[in-house]
């Protein structure tokens, strides 16, 4: 079973949209294999967003992601990485298709409700940042 990391970001989690977002993934046939509510630390943000360190938007991204609780998930299923990214929609909610997570729940390009791994390699790197093997139930 393919797995992906999903983060329900502080904006969507703070507005009580976690259940709505989980339902979208489950209605698409995917399984929630792990879930936790947490407040991202700057250290976790630096690991998770390592490829963005030094870019102009990095400080604002870290400030946002560490500002309030979020929900981290491992979602599993066939072709889940590609399909969850399709369910999430375009990064910019103004460009996202109707019915996608970001069209429904995102505020803007930064406060865009969710993160999902973009490849098998990213998922393999990102999942252990948030979950130990004994926390994933597949």
3 state SS for the chain: CEEEEEEECHHHHHCCCHHHHHHHHHHCCCEEEEEEEECCCHHHHHHHCHHHCCCCCHHHHHHHHCCCCEEEEEEEECCHHHHHHHHHCCCCHHHCCCCCHHHHHCCCCCCCCEEECCCHHHHHHHHHHHCCHHHCCC
pLDDT of the chain along its 138 residues, tens only?
Answer: 999 999 999 999 999 999 999 999 999 999 999 999 999 999 999 999 999 999 999 999 999 999 999 999 999 999 999 999 999 999 999 999 999 999 999 999 989 999 999 999 999 999 999 999 999 998
CATH number reported for the structural domain that contains residue 97 in this entry: 3.30.70.141
Instruction: Give the pLDDT score at 81.
Output: 98
Instruction: Give the pLDDT score at 84.
Output: 98
Instruction: Give the pLDDT score at 6.
Output: 98
Total structural domains within the chain:
1
> In terms of DSSP bridges, do strands 31-38 and 2-8 run parallel, antiparallel, or are they unpaired?
unpaired
Residue range of the domain that includes 87: 2-135
Active site residue 115: yes
Catalytic residue among 17, 48, 52, 115: 115
Can you tell me the distance from the alpha carbon of 114 to that of 9, in angstroms, rounded to the nearest whole number?
Answer: 5
The predicted model scores a pTM of 0.96
């Amino acid at each position: 079973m393919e797995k992906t990391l999903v983060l329900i970001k502080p904006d969507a989690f703070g507005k009580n949209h976690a259940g709505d977002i989980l339902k979208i993934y489950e209605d698409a046939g995917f399984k929630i294999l792990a879930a936790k509510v947490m407040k991202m630390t700057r250290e976790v943000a630096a690991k998770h967003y390592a490829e963005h360190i030094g870019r102009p938007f990095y400080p604002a991204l870290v400030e946002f992601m560490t500002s309030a609780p979020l929900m981290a998930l491992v979602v599993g299923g066939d072709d889940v990485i590609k399909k969850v990214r399709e369910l999430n929609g375009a990064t910019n909610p103004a460009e996202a298709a109707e019915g996608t997570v970001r069209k429904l729940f995102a505020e803007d390009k930064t406060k865009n409700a969710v993160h999902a791994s973009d490849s098998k390699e990213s998922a393999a790197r990102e999942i252990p940042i948030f979950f130990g093997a004994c926390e994933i139930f597949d």
